[in-house]
Amino acid sequence: MLTVWGRKTSSNVQALMWCIGELGLAHQRIDIGHRFGGNDSEEYLALNPNGTVPVLQDDDNAPLWETGSILRYLANAYGGEEFWPRELLAQANVDRWAEWAKLNVALKFTVPIFWRVVRTPPDKRDPVAIKRATDGLEHFLRIANSQLMKHSFLVGDNLTLADIQFGHILFRYYDIDIVRSELPAVHHYFLNLKSRPAFQQHIMVSYEELRVV
């Protein structure tokens, strides 16, 4: 059985849990971090010296940290051919879009936008910085929009690891109070993701406990 350490409101934990849900893997999750604390304890730092979440342990194997590495482990260990191709070039194609999504979408949304909107008091928010960050993010969302005009998912017509890295931020992106550009293919893709039970369970999670008012 898989054991996951990390609170359900962490976006990185959400990506991992969505992947676990899509692959139908037995698991348990232990709340760590934010209001739960514990990520600076000696026991937790023995699992992950960085003190970050998530951490995953598969049965009695050594614990794994860093979300991208964990996701690739699960894809290799448990993902089917459609989710994570075994042919090298096809796999690299999925992996490049997954890495692209992590670096150019998730990282450009979570701290520059989500934290500035939700995790910053209203009187300390910087609308100019938020608009600049949103414009920067949407440069890459337009790339995704072009890609999604060709395929149902980011890489093709099946959900892959790339969609986990890309799609997990879209619930918050469309939910928070920001001005968004019209990106019809991305929005249609998001609506399709919302119909997936694992997305509903692990991504469409209230973030009110993170809000600073």
Domains of the chain: 2-78 (3.40.30.10), 88-202 (1.20.1050.10)
In the prediction, which pLDDT does 139 show? 98
Q: Is pLDDT of 76 > 90?
A: yes
Average pLDDT over residues 91-118: 98
Contact 56, 29 (CB under 8 A): no
Is the pLDDT score of 102 beyond 90?
yes
Q: Token pair of 47, please?
A: 């699992």
pLDDT at 103: 97
Provide the mean pLDDT of the chain: 97
pLDDT score for 201: 98
pLDDT tens for each residue of 114-142: 999 999 999 999 999 999 999 999 999 99
For the cut 90, the answer to whether the pLDDT of residue 100 exceeds it is: yes
User: Residue 5 and residue 111: Cα distance in Å, rounded?
Assistant: 21
3-class secondary structure for 25-76?
CCEEEECCCHHHCCCCCHHHHHHCCCCCCCEEEECCCCCEECHHHHHHHHHH
Tens of pLDDT, residue by residue over 27-43, are 999 999 999 999 999 99
Structure token pair of residue 79: 């993902």
For residues 137 and 108, is the Cβ–Cβ distance under 8 A?
yes
User: By CB neighbour count within 10 A (0-12 exposed, 13-18 middle, 19+ buried), where does 62 fall?
Assistant: exposed
pLDDT at 213 over 90: no
- Give residue 20's pLDDT band: very low, low, confident or very high (50, 70, 90): very high
Q: Are the C-beta atoms of 12 and 193 separated by less than 8 Å?
A: no
Task: Give the tens place of pLDDT for each residue, 148-177.
Answer: 999 999 999 999 999 999 999 999 999 999
Q: CA-to-CA distance for 58 and 80, rounded, in angstroms? A: 18
Read off the pLDDT of each residue in 187-193 and give the average, rounded to a whole number: 98
Residue 75 has pLDDT above 90, yes or no: yes
